[in-house]
């Protein structure tokens, strides 16, 4: 009897677990029908690859508590290996293209096996330093080992030489998109399931308290090692997809900038939750592609956003969202709308005006001599007249002041929404 109730309970609880994945899959399949342009496809491909890479990275950072400064290397080596396979006609002609990322994963895993053998002895600072050193070493090797890394110009291949896959030769961008989506779903599901296994749970335990985990009889080192190798595998898959999509890999795929970017993506999204890196990857790719078209200074803003996140919201965007879960459960989100709008609306306007001031300063200092005109928000004005300066300054000061004034009310409302009725 009890067995029966348990199975039905398990069966009914599977539905809400599967539902988000089905929605995500449907969403991914429909996206190219809504955004049909080639540039949108490029952005979505980039996004999907970043999601896989960020999720793989979060297996270390969020789930295992290991901060890596050289994780781009595993993605890069997987990608380089895939390009070499593409160029090896005798072999590449025998395998269909969708299988290729597995080889990338295997090569990433192989490298992780070697490096992890000595780097996972300790977590924390020592691990971070070794990852940095190894990352820099391999990135520097790319100029020396020309046979594998192709020197400064990198190596390139052609994805269409593979065995046709049910008649598809992956000539068009949209075909590549569906291939990437397939691997995105497969790897995301696998990584999620991994985090549910006893192994994934032990990774969390080792992150929080390695000593206690050791007393339970688990070797903290081996748990870290397995997480590291698995993460290397999925990073390699992301690399393989990169090779398929761009058909070229260079030193840029290996260096510290790339490793730093993935740390930024993961932390911005929120390392504490499985879906955090997904949000981070989407937001970061949008910032990277859309914001960089608008302004030269986008990296400055992203850097400032990153530092602010670390200082004030260490849970990242996902953590910020999940803060509101209790209030949502009690159906009190609507109580928050008013106070939030009072702070966020003037706050956003004020911040935008502040950014305009920064843009003005930048234009004033670095524009060519005699170039006094600039365009912000579809308005052209003269940077040497005091009017825009005073205007933006006033808006920034006013907006931020209003936001600051509304902040106590917002905190109060948030507190109210989280307190059980009758308890207060």
Partner 1 sequence: MDLIAVNIIDGLVTGLLLFMLSAGLTLIFSMMGVLNFAHASFYMLGAYFAYQISIYLGFWMGLLIAPILVGVLGAGVERYGLRRVHQYGHVPELIFTFGLALLIEEVVQFVWGKNQMPYETPEILQFTAFAIAGNSIPAYKVFMIFISVTIFIGLLYVLTRTRIGMIIQAALSYPKTVEALGHNVPFIFMGVFGVGTALAGVAGVIAGPVLSTFPGMAFVLGSIVFVTIVIGGLGSLWGALVASLLIGWLTTFAKSYNLRMEDLLTTLGFNKPEPIWDSAWQDLWTLTSPQVADILPYILMVLILVFRPYGLFGKRDA
Q: Closer to partner 1 at the Cβ: 312 or 377?
A: 312
Nearer to partner 1, 1 or 147 (CB): 147
Q: Does the footprint of partner 1 cover residue 132 (CB under 8 A)? A: yes
> Residues 66, 69, 71, 77: is their CA dihedral positive or negative?
negative
Helix spans in 247-332 (H): 256-269, 276-286, 292-294, 298-312, 316-322, 325-329
- 352 lies in the site for partner 1, by CB under 8 A: no
Closer Cβ to partner 1, 195 or 259, answer by number: 259
Q: Taken in order 283, 285, 290, 296, is the CA torsion positive or negative?
A: positive
Residue whose pair of structure tokens reads 């029966």 in the numeric block: 4
Retrieve residue 107's tokens. Answer: 């090569």
* Candidates 31-39, 45-53, 126-134, 349-357; binding stretch for partner 1 (CB under 8 A): 126-134
**C-beta of 154 vs 339, nearer to partner 1:** 154
29, 184 Cβ separation under 8 angstroms = no
Quick check: 357 binds partner 1 (CB under 8 A)?
Answer: no
Residue 200 near residue 226 (C-beta atoms within 8 A): no
The site for partner 1, by CB under 8 A, has a size of 44
The answer to the question of residue 137 lying near partner 1 (CB under 8 A) is yes
Question: Residues 63, 201: contact at Cβ < 8 Å?
Answer: no
For partner 1, which stretch binds (CB under 8 A), given 141-149, 194-202, 317-325, 402-410? 141-149
Q: What mask, x for binding partner 1 by CB under 8 A, covers residues 231 to 270?
A: -------------------------x---x--xx--x---
Burial zone of 393 (CB within 10 Å; 0-12 exposed, 13-18 middle, 19+ buried)? middle
Residue 364 touching partner 1 (CB under 8 A): no
Tell which phi-psi region holds residue 217, choosing left (phi > 0), alpha (psi between -120 and 50) or beta.
Answer: left
Find out whether 336 and 417 touch, Cβ atoms under 8 Å: yes
Contacting residue, 26, 164, 314, 408, with partner 1 by CB under 8 A: 314
Q: What is the DSSP letter of 290?
A: I
Q: Is 299 in the site for partner 1 (CB under 8 A)?
A: yes
**Is residue 284 at the binding interface for partner 1, with CB under 8 A as the rule?**
no
Stretch that binds partner 1, among 80-88, 211-219, 227-235, 357-365 (CB under 8 A): 357-365
Distance in Å, CB of 269 to partner 1, minimum: 13
- Please work out, in degrees rounded to the nearest 5, the angle formed at the alpha carbon of residue 95 by the alpha carbons of 94 and 97: 135
Asked if residue 205 binds partner 1 (CB under 8 A), the reply is no
Question: CA-CA distance, 329 to 418, in Å (whole number)?
Answer: 10
Q: Binding to partner 1 by residue 93, rule CB under 8 A?
A: no
Cα 202 from chain centroid? Answer: 24
Contact between 140 and partner 1 (CB under 8 A)? yes
Binding site for partner 1 (CB under 8 A): 61, 65, 67, 69, 118-119, 121-122, 124-126, 128-130, 132-134, 136-137, 140-141, 144-147, 256, 260, 263-264, 267, 297, 299-300, 303-304, 306-307, 310-311, 314, 358, 362, 365-366
């Amino acid at each position: 009897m009890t067995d029966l109730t348990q199975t039905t309970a398990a069966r009914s609880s599977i539905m809400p677990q599967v539902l988000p994945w089905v929605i995500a899959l449907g969403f991914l399949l429909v996206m190219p029908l809504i955004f049909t342009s080639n540039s949108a496809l490029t952005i979505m491909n980039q996004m999907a690859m970043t999601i896989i890479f960020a999720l793989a990275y979060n297996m270390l950072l969020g789930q295992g508590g290991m901060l890596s400064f050289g994780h781009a290397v595993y993605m890069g080596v997987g990608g380089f290996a895939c390009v070499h396979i593409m160029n090896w006609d005798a072999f590449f002609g025998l395998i269909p293209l969708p299988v290729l990322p597995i080889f990338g994963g295997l090569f990433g895993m192989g490298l992780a096996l070697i490096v992890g053998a000595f780097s996972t002895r300790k977590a924390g600072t020592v691990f971070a330093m070794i990852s940095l050193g190894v990352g820099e070493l391999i990135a520097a090797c790319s100029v020396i080992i020309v046979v594998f890394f192709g020197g400064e110009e990198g190596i390139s291949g052609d994805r269409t030489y593979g065995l046709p896959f049910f008649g598809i030769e992956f000539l068009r961008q949209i075909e590549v998109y569906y291939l990437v989506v397939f691997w995105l779903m497969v790897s995301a599901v696998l990584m999620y399931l991994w985090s549910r296994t006893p192994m994934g749970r032990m990774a969390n335990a080792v992150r929080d308290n390695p000593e206690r985990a050791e007393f339970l009889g688990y070797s903290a080192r081996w748990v870290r090692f397995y997480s590291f190798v698995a993460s290397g595998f999925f990073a390699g898959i992301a690399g393989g997809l990169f090779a398929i999509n761009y058909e070229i890999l260079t030193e840029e795929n290996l260096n510290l900038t790339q490793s730093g970017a993935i740390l930024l993506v993961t932390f911005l999204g929120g390392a504490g939750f499985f879906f955090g890196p997904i949000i981070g990857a989407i937001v970061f790719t949008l910032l990277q592609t859309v914001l960089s078209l608008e302004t030269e200074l986008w990296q400055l803003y992203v850097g400032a956003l990153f530092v602010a996140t670390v200082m004030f919201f260490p849970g990242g965007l996902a953590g910020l969202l999940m803060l509101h879960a209790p209030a949502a459960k009690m159906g009190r989100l609507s109580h928050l709308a008013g106070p939030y709008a009072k702070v966020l609306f003037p706050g956003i306007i004020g911040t935008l005006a502040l950014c305009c001031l920064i843009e003005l300063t930048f234009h004033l200092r670095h524009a060519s001599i005699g170039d006094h005109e600039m365009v912000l928000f579809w308005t052209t004005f003269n940077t040497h007249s005091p009017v825009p300066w005073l205007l933006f300054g006033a808006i920034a000061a006013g907006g931020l002041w209003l936001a600051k004034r509304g902040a106590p009310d917002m905190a109060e409302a948030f507190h109210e929404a989280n307190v059980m009725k009758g308890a207060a």
